[in-house]
Amino acid sequence: MSDLAVNARELNKWFGEGEARTFAVRDVSFEARFGEILYIVGPSGSGKTTLLSMISGILKPNSGHVLIENQDIWSLPDDGIADFRLNRIGFVFQDYHLFPRLTTVENVAIPLILKKMDWNDALKVALEYLDIVGLKARAQLPPVKLSGGEQQRVAIARAIASRPDLLIFDEPTASLDGDTGRKIVEFVKQDILSDRRCIIIVTHDSRIFEFADRIMKMEDGRITDVATGA
């Protein structure tokens, strides 16, 4: 098995046509390896989120390839891409996007339920992942009863419940205070990262740069710098 988690080649994404065409991502190539935390940083509008969406099977590039284990994900049919996201990628959204009408454990079980796991079995597995993020005792509460940091951890539990090789974090500390944000990323680095898992984090938050293995800087849709983290 290759140690490359993501191999992105000459990705381009533009919006609009003719004179109105605007490049969000231009000729971006990069690799991300298993066992590393890669940060994508840059100012607003630099193309971070667009790039993240293309490598995670959410937004189709206008040109270029995203190879995961030598499979070009954008050559897959729609259902295949959905299955790819379900089985290979864990998302932690900026606003968590937890279902307020479900309990915490049910939220974590969602990817498992989408994978057709039996309801009760899914809840059992979800409880184990809640234990990993230290929230087993809060399993039956709705997410709205949890603090921001706790909700972030629930979102992480949900993201790792389907045992993905690639974890995508979109601005994980944006809604948290500095201390909680640091603790979350520290927890991710210590307890979630593994040899067979790659974590890509999009962030503005320089306070958590110390946890990165590599930091990829973007500006105007291009990668302008790749640095080794602290």
Task: Enumerate binding residues for another protein (CB under 8 A).
Answer: 49, 52-53, 58-59, 78-79, 82-87, 89, 91, 93-95, 97, 99, 101-102, 106, 110-111, 113-114, 116-119, 122, 158, 162, 170
Query: Smallest gap, in angstroms, from Cβ of residue 230 to another protein?
Result: 27
Instruction: Tabulate helix, strand, coil % of the chain (nearest 5).
Output: 40, 30, 30
Query: Smallest gap, in angstroms, from Cβ of residue 16 to another protein?
Result: 15
- Residue 194 has, within 13 A of its CA and on its CB side, a CA count of 9
Query: Smallest gap, in angstroms, from Cβ of residue 128 to another protein?
Result: 18
Distances (CA, A) of 135 to 31, 114, 144, 205: 34, 22, 14, 25
Angle of helix 148-161 versus helix 178-187 axis, rounded to 10: 20
Query: Smallest gap, in angstroms, from Cβ of residue 58 to another protein?
Result: 5
Q: Which residue has the tokens 């983290």?
A: 229
Q: Which is nearer to another protein, 30 or 91 (CB)?
A: 91
CA distance 95 to 113: 22
Structure tokens at 142: 């709705």
Q: Which residue has the tokens 């988690």?
A: 5
Q: Which is nearer to another protein, 121 or 191 (CB)?
A: 121
Distances (CA, A) of 126 to 90, 162, 190, 192: 14, 9, 20, 15
Say which DSSP state 206 is in. G
Q: Which is nearer to another protein, 63 or 186 (CB)?
A: 63
CA distance 95 to 68: 27
Q: Which is nearer to another protein, 109 or 130 (CB)?
A: 109
Q: Which is nearer to another protein, 116 or 230 (CB)?
A: 116
Q: Which is nearer to another protein, 7 or 162 (CB)?
A: 162
Query: Smallest gap, in angstroms, from Cβ of residue 151 to another protein?
Result: 13
Query: Smallest gap, in angstroms, from Cβ of residue 78 to another protein?
Result: 8
